[in-house]
Amino acid sequence: MAASRDDKPATLADILRNALFWTGIALGLFCLLIGLKTDQQANEIVLVPRVGLLAGVLLAVFLFTVAGGLWTSHHQARRAAGKANVTGDAIKRIEPFIKPFLIAFVLTFPFIAIGLSGWQGSLKWIDNFGIQILIYVMLGWGLNVVVGLAGLLDLGYVAFYAVGAYSYSLLATQYGLSFWILLPIAGILAAFWGIILGFPVLRLRGDYLAVVTLAFGEIIRLVLINWVDFSNGYAGISSIPRPTFFGIPFTNDEGGFASVFGLEPSGLYYKIFLFYLILGLALITAYVTTRLRRLPIGRAWEALREDEIACRALGINTVTTKLTAFAIGAMFGGFGGSFFAARQGFISPESFTFIESAQILAIVVLGGAGSLYGVVIAAVGIVGGFEILRELDFLKEVFGNDFDPAQYRALIFGLSMVVIMLWKPRGLVSTRDPSVVLKERKAISSELMKEGHG
């Protein structure tokens, strides 16, 4: 980590000294928090020493820094020897082939799942993996409008998700309206809230904006918890009606989906239907955002991201530009929220915590703000990765029965956010090339330019 700044490769002694230094730091950091565990016994807290674990962690830090040091010195030696470090942007090269393949795979995914793991086994794949990942892909694409295109860091995106979910649940349970009517209404309400919350923060930038949006997200959650008459508080809203297929409900009795189409009764049809529903919503999000990027408003967003002062100097109305970004991002969040409520059948404020916002933001930022593919890759990696982690039973044998990978979710998120920022601050797949160019792309693209303070 702390490699010598000059290009001279570090010697082994340097590397070891550096590793010992960081191990000493780690000893200072972890001696209390790992070395001693606070355990509840009867009515008081007692300390249980964990020397073995502390030693293990320190050894891991030592080995990691040695490996890191060797790796950097190896690279420095190679660079000194004049060997160019050729790392082509592989994803860009195969980009034309990804799209049709990806779409074909996703469209046939439920049938591939049924074919590979049978009628019962496919339920897990379609529900836990397919639908779950697609929800986050859709939310990621929605937030991408705000963060990736307009460059406004929004830490309260989950507020709009909550607005969508509660709009659908409350209107459906109180007034019996159908999912298909309420879906656009939920989107409009969320967009409306996007504008309301967008107004006060118009003058804010970067860091301030992030903290204020975070505060707004928390305000909405706290109101949902405390305003029991409206939202039923912590208890949440249950028995939210399911969406129907052009008026045909997904029930197993007469007039249900299976009997109308003469199929065997099974719960799987509903899951497949939900899968295509969220896929459709996600594709609409992607289509709308790619089209918007080419409109004047989309170009204004990208310009705003690059330099706000220049934007204003060129006569772009930053107020409408920011508000439309908030509103459109919020609208997709609202769609996602009402789908979430319909799929779960139960919602409570617990589903809309800051960690949820952070997860969506992590997907956008890690994938590469502004990139549609990046969001997909990050969503598959993060959401799918955790589902797989939950499946791995052999981890229990290695780490003991108490080991629950879900516990480490935020730790892995956080670390991956830091590591990706250090390694590729723009995300895995990212581009700052403008979506629209005049006649030809210039040799000096914005990729090479320093960024203004927008």
Partner 1 sequence: MEVLVQQIINGLTLGAIYGLIAVGYTMVFGIIGMVNFAHGDVFMVGGFSALILFLLVTGALGHGAGVIFLAIIVCLVLGMALTGLWNWAIERIAYRPLRGSFRLAPLISAIGMSMVLVNFVQVAQGARNKPIPPMLRDGIKIMERDGFVVTLAYKQIVIFVVTALLLGIFWYVVQKTPLGRAQRACEQDGKMAALLGIDVDRTVSITFVIGAALAAVAGVMYLVYYGVISFSDGFIPGVKAFTAAVLGGIGSLPGAVLGGLIIGMVETLWSAYFSIDYKDVAAFMLLAITLIFLPQGLLGKPEVEKV
The answer to whether 116 contacts partner 1 (rule: CB under 8 A) is: no
Q: Which stretch binds partner 1 (CB under 8 A): 172-180, 195-203, 244-252, 370-378?
A: 195-203
Contact 143, 360 (CB under 8 A): yes
Tell me the angle at which helices 268-294 and 372-379 cross, rounded to the nearest 10 degrees: 150
- Closer of 294 and 396 to partner 1 (Cβ): 396
Subset of residues 45 to 74 that bind partner 1, contact rule: CB under 8 A: 45-47
308-327: b or e for each residue (b if 16 or more CB lie within 10 Å)? beebeeeebebeebbbbbbb
From CA 254, how far away is CA 259, in angstroms rounded? 6
Of 69-77, 109-117, 200-208, 380-388, the window that binds partner 1 (rule: CB under 8 A) is 200-208
**Three-state SS letters, 198-255:** HHHHCCCCHHHHHHHHHHHHHHHHHHHHHCHHHHCHHHCECCCCCCCECCECCCCCCC
Contact mark string toward partner 1, 128..157, x via CB under 8 A: -----------------------x-x-x--
Of 260, 309, 314, 437, the residue at the interface with partner 1 (CB under 8 A) is: 309
Query: Least distance in Å: CB of 428 to partner 1?
Result: 13
Beta-carbon contacts of residue 79 (< 8 Å; ≥ 6 apart)? 7, 85
The SS3 call for residue 58 is helix
Beta strand pairing call for 44-49 and 36-41:
antiparallel
Q: State yes or no: residue 75 binds partner 1 (CB under 8 A).
A: no
Contact 179, 243 (CB under 8 A): yes
The CB-of-32 to partner 1 minimum distance in angstroms stands at: 5
Beta carbons of 448 and 388 less than 8 angstroms apart = no
Q: Which of 204, 286, 288, 380 binds partner 1 (CB under 8 A)?
A: 204
Is 395 a binding residue for partner 1 by CB under 8 A? The answer is no
Cα distance between residue 302 and residue 168, in whole Å: 32
Using the minimum distance from each CB to partner 1, give the nearer residue, 171 or 362.
362
Q: Does 191 bind partner 1 (CB under 8 A)?
A: no
When asked if residue 226 is in the footprint of partner 1 (CB under 8 A), the reply is yes
Of these, 94, 102, 223, 449, which contacts partner 1 (CB under 8 A)?
Answer: 223
- Measured from the CB atom, the residue of 194 and 256 that comes closer to partner 1 is 194
**Contact residue for partner 1 among 282, 325, 361, 372 (CB under 8 A):** 361
Between 79 and 312, CB nearer to partner 1: 312
Smallest gap from residue 240 Cβ to partner 1 (A): 25
Q: Which amino acid is at 186?
A: A
Site for partner 1 in 366-385 (CB under 8 A): none
Min dist CB 65 to partner 1, Å, is: 11
HSE at residue 280, side-chain half, CA atoms within 13 A, is 8
Which position among 158, 201, 316, 383 is part of the footprint of partner 1 (CB under 8 A)?
A: 201
> Does 398 contact partner 1 by CB under 8 A?
no
Helices (H), 295-353: 296-306, 308-313, 318-344
Helices first, then strands: H and E counts in the chain: 19, 2
Q: Please calculate the CA angle 159-164-166 and round it to the nearest 5 degrees.
A: 90
Distance CA 93, CA 358 (A): 31
Part in contact with partner 1 (CB under 8 A); list of ranges 163-171, 274-282, 361-369, 382-390:
361-369
According to the binding rule CB under 8 A, does residue 219 interact with partner 1? Answer: yes
Q: How far is the CB of 304 from partner 1 (least distance, A)?
A: 13
The one-letter code for the residue type at 132 is Q
Residues that bind partner 1 (CB under 8 A): 1-2, 25, 28-29, 31-34, 36-40, 44-47, 151, 153, 155, 200-201, 203-204, 206-208, 210-212, 214-216, 218-219, 222-223, 225-226, 309-310, 354-355, 358, 361-362, 365, 407-411, 413-418, 421-422, 425-426, 451-454
